[in-house]
Structure 1
Amino acid sequence: MSFKILKIALAGMLHDIGKFMERAELKIPQKYIDNNQALYQPKTHWHYTHKHALYTAYFIDEMSEYFPSQFTEYSSPKDSIVNLCAKHHRPDSDSPEQIIIQEADCISSGIERREFEEKEESVRKAKEIPLLSIFEDISITENWKAVSSQEFRFSYPVREISPVNIFPIEKQNVTGQAYSELYQKFVKVFKNLPHKDSPRLWMEHLDSALFVFTTLIPSATLKEAQGRFEEIISDISLYDHGRLTSALAIAMYLYHLSTDSMDENSIKARDIKKFLLIEGNFYGIQDFIFSEGGSTAKHAAKLLRGRSFYVSLLSELAADFILDKLNLPFTSIVTNAAGKFKILAPNTEKHINAVKEAEDEINHWLVKNFYGEVSIGLSWIEASPDDFICSGDSLGRVLRAIGNASEERKLKKLDLTLYGGTKSTARYLDTFSDAGVCSLCNRRAAKLENQINEDYLCDICHDHVKIGENLVKKDTLVVATADAELHETLKMPVFDKYQVSFLPGRLSELVRQNKIIHYWNINSLWKNENILDDFVSIKLINGYVPRFTPEYKNEIEKITYGESDKEETIEAIQNQAILNFHHIARLALQKTEQGMNGVDALGVFKADIDNLGTIFTKGLRPEKRTFSRYAALSRQLNLFFTLYLPYLCKTEFKNIYTIFAGGDDLFLIAPWSEITRFSMRLSEDFYRYCCNNSEITLSAGVYITQPETPVLKMAEASEKALEKAKNSGKNKITIFNCPVEWSSIEELEKIRQELESWFDDELITISFLYKLNELRQLAEEEKEILKRQLIHEKLNPLIWRAKLHYFATRNIAKGKNREERIKTVEEVLSKLVIWIEKYRESFRIPLWQTIYMRRKA
Structure 2
Amino acid sequence: MELIDKISLAALLHDIGKFYQRTGVYLQRPNNWHDYIPSEYSYLHALYTYQFFTEQEDFFKDVNQRDETALINLASRHHKPSNPYESIIAFADHLSSGLDRKHYDELQIEKDVKKFRQVRLKPIFEEIRLEKHNYAEDKFLYTLASFIPENIFPKGKFFYQELTDKKAKQEYIKLWEDFIGDFKKIRHTSFDNFFNAIKSLLERYTWCIPSATIKTVPDVSLYDHLTTTAAIATALFKYYEAKNLLKKCTLNYLAHNTEEPFVFIVGDFSGIQRFIFDRGGSANKYAAKILRAKSFFVSLATEIATYMCVKTFGLNPASVITTAAGKFLVLAPNLDNTDILIQKLKEKISNAFHKRFYGEVNFSIAYLKAGTEAFDVKHFAPFMNKLSLKLEEAKLRPLVLDAKLFVFNDYLEKIKSSDDVCAICAKRPKVKIMDEIAVCEDCLFFKEIGERLVKDDFIKIGKGLKYGIIGKFGFEFVKKEAVPETTLDIIYQLRTEEFYGYPLKYIASYVPRFKDNEWKEEKYKSLQKEKLPKNQKVGDIKTFYHVACDALTLTEKGGQWIGSKFLGVLKADVDNLGLIFREGLKRKEGHLLTISRYAYLSRMLDAFFSLYIPYVVTKKYPDIYTVFTGGDDLFLIGPYTQIYDFVKEEIGRQFKKYVCQNEDITLSAGLILSKPAVPVREMAEEAERMLEQAKDKGKDAISMFDKTLNWQEFLKLFEFEMEINTVEEIEKLPMAYFYRLLTFADWAEKMHKNPKFAKWRALFAYITARNFGKKNYYERLLSIADKWIEHYKSKLIIPLSIAIYRRRK
- CA distance 1:270–1:836, change in 2 (3 Å): farther
Conserved? CA contact 2:459–2:494, under 8 Å? yes
SS for the counterpart of 2:68 is helix
The amino acid across from 2:88 in the alignment is: I
Counterpart for residue 800 of structure 1: 760
- 2:492 counterpart of 1:539: no
- 2:387 counterpart of 1:402: yes
- CA distance 1:584–1:763, change in 2 (3 Å): closer
Counterpart for residue 577 of structure 2: 612
SS for the counterpart of 1:508 is coil
List aligned pairs for 1:239-278, cutoff 5 A: 239-262=223-246, 263=248, 264=250, 265-269=252-256, 271-278=258-265
SS for the counterpart of 1:79 is coil
Counterpart for residue 5 of structure 1: 4
Q: TM-score, normalised by structure 2?
A: 0.92
The amino acid across from 1:12 in the alignment is: A
Runs of 4+ more than 6 Å apart: none
Displacement of 1:179: 0.9
The amino acid across from 2:743 in the alignment is: E
Counterpart for residue 38 of structure 1: 34
The amino acid across from 1:441 in the alignment is: C
- CA distance 1:498–1:72, change in 2 (3 Å): farther
Counterpart for residue 15 of structure 2: 16
Conserved? CA contact 2:527–2:545, under 8 Å? no
CA offsets per residue over residues 638-685 of structure 1, 9 Å max, x none? Answer: 001011101100111111111111111111112112222211111211
Conserved? CA contact 1:482–1:493, under 8 Å? no
Displacement of 1:505: 6.0
Alignment partner of 1:828 out of 774, 778, 781: 781
List aligned pairs for 1:270-289, cutoff 5 A: 271-289=258-276
Alignment partner of 2:152 out of 150, 166, 175: 166
- 2:149 counterpart of 1:177: no
Displacement of 1:48: 4.2
Equivalent-residue separation in structure 1 for 2:268 and 2:704 (angstroms): 31
Conserved? CA contact 2:109–2:214, under 8 Å? no
- CA distance 1:433–1:42, change in 2 (3 Å): farther
SS for the counterpart of 1:65 is coil
Counterpart for residue 299 of structure 1: 286
Conserved? CA contact 2:305–2:349, under 8 Å? yes
Equivalent-residue separation in structure 1 for 2:270 and 2:502 (angstroms): 31
The amino acid across from 2:122 in the alignment is: L
Gapped regions of structure 1 (runs ≥ 5): 224-231, 484-488, 786-793
Equivalent-residue separation in structure 2 for 1:619 and 1:305 (angstroms): 33
Same amino acid, percent of matched pairs: 35
Displacement of 1:565: 8.1
List aligned pairs for 1:782-801, cutoff 5 A: 782-783=751-752, 785=753, 794-801=754-761
Alignment partner of 1:206 out of 188, 198, 210: 198
Counterpart for residue 229 of structure 1: none
- CA distance 1:142–1:105, change in 2 (3 Å): farther
The amino acid across from 2:43 in the alignment is: H
Equivalent-residue separation in structure 2 for 1:42 and 1:431 (angstroms): 74
- CA distance 1:770–1:197, change in 2 (3 Å): closer
Equivalent-residue separation in structure 1 for 2:415 and 2:218 (angstroms): 59
Equivalent-residue separation in structure 2 for 1:765 and 1:18 (angstroms): 69
Conserved? CA contact 1:732–1:740, under 8 Å? yes
Equivalent-residue separation in structure 2 for 1:101 and 1:551 (angstroms): 60
- CA distance 1:421–1:300, change in 2 (3 Å): closer
Conserved? CA contact 2:346–2:399, under 8 Å? no
Counterpart for residue 549 of structure 2: 586
SS for the counterpart of 1:9 is helix
Counterpart for residue 219 of structure 2: 235
- CA distance 1:443–1:663, change in 2 (3 Å): same
Equivalent-residue separation in structure 2 for 1:767 and 1:192 (angstroms): 64
Displacement of 1:438: 3.7
Counterpart for residue 461 of structure 1: 443
- 2:503 counterpart of 1:519: no
- CA distance 1:390–1:271, change in 2 (3 Å): farther
Counterpart for residue 226 of structure 1: none
Alignment partner of 2:143 out of 144, 154, 157: 157
Displacement of 1:421: 5.1
Equivalent-residue separation in structure 2 for 1:855 and 1:142 (angstroms): 43
Equivalent-residue separation in structure 2 for 1:370 and 1:395 (angstroms): 36
Equivalent-residue separation in structure 2 for 1:565 and 1:430 (angstroms): 31
List aligned pairs for 1:9-408, cutoff 5 A: 9-29=8-28, 33-43=29-39, 47-67=40-60, 69=61, 72=63, 77-92=67-82, 95-111=83-99, 114-118=102-106, 120-122=109-111, 124-141=114-131, 144-146=134-136, 151-171=137-157, 172=160, 173=163, 175-194=168-187, 196-223=188-215, 232-262=216-246, 263=248, 264=250, 265-269=252-256, 271-294=258-281, 296-391=283-378, 394-408=379-393
List aligned pairs for 1:744-823, cutoff 5 A: 744-759=713-728, 761-762=730-731, 764-783=733-752, 785=753, 794-810=754-770, 812-813=771-772, 820-821=774-775
Displacement of 1:191: 2.0
- CA distance 1:296–1:320, change in 2 (3 Å): farther
- CA distance 1:108–1:421, change in 2 (3 Å): closer
The amino acid across from 1:24 in the alignment is: T
Equivalent-residue separation in structure 2 for 1:733 and 1:590 (angstroms): 26
The amino acid across from 2:711 in the alignment is: W
Conserved? CA contact 1:759–1:765, under 8 Å? no
Counterpart for residue 486 of structure 1: none
The amino acid across from 2:54 in the alignment is: D
Equivalent-residue separation in structure 1 for 2:86 and 2:344 (angstroms): 32
- CA distance 1:851–1:121, change in 2 (3 Å): same
After superposing the two structures, state which structure 1 stretch, 647-656 or 692-701, moved more. 692-701
Conserved? CA contact 2:37–2:79, under 8 Å? yes
SS for the counterpart of 2:345 is helix
Conserved? CA contact 2:513–2:541, under 8 Å? yes
CA offsets per residue over residues 110-138 of structure 1, 9 Å max, x none? Answer: 22764253463146422221112111121
Conserved? CA contact 1:28–1:55, under 8 Å? yes
Conserved? CA contact 1:599–1:855, under 8 Å? yes
SS for the counterpart of 2:522 is helix
SS for the counterpart of 1:378 is strand
The amino acid across from 2:110 in the alignment is: E
Q: TM-score, normalised by structure 1?
A: 0.87
The amino acid across from 2:148 in the alignment is: S
Conserved? CA contact 1:116–1:222, under 8 Å? no
The amino acid across from 1:798 in the alignment is: A
Equivalent-residue separation in structure 2 for 1:22 and 1:421 (angstroms): 60
Equivalent-residue separation in structure 1 for 2:798 and 2:287 (angstroms): 29
Equivalent-residue separation in structure 1 for 2:699 and 2:6 (angstroms): 47
User: How many pairs does the alignment contain?
Assistant: 791
SS for the counterpart of 1:380 is strand
CA offsets per residue over residues 457-514 of structure 1, 9 Å max, x none? Answer: 444322211111122222222223316xxxxx43x354212332234764436x2xx4
Equivalent-residue separation in structure 2 for 1:109 and 1:692 (angstroms): 27
Displacement of 1:211: 1.3
The amino acid across from 1:180 in the alignment is: I
Displacement of 1:737: 1.4
Gapped regions of structure 2 (runs ≥ 5): none
Equivalent-residue separation in structure 2 for 1:143 and 1:270 (angstroms): 40
SS for the counterpart of 1:348 is coil
Equivalent-residue separation in structure 1 for 2:591 and 2:272 (angstroms): 36
- CA distance 1:34–1:591, change in 2 (3 Å): closer
- CA distance 1:432–1:535, change in 2 (3 Å): farther
Alignment partner of 2:702 out of 713, 733, 744: 733
Displacement of 1:347: 2.1
The amino acid across from 1:832 in the alignment is: A
SS for the counterpart of 1:159 is coil
Counterpart for residue 721 of structure 1: 690
- CA distance 1:427–1:781, change in 2 (3 Å): closer
Counterpart for residue 790 of structure 1: none
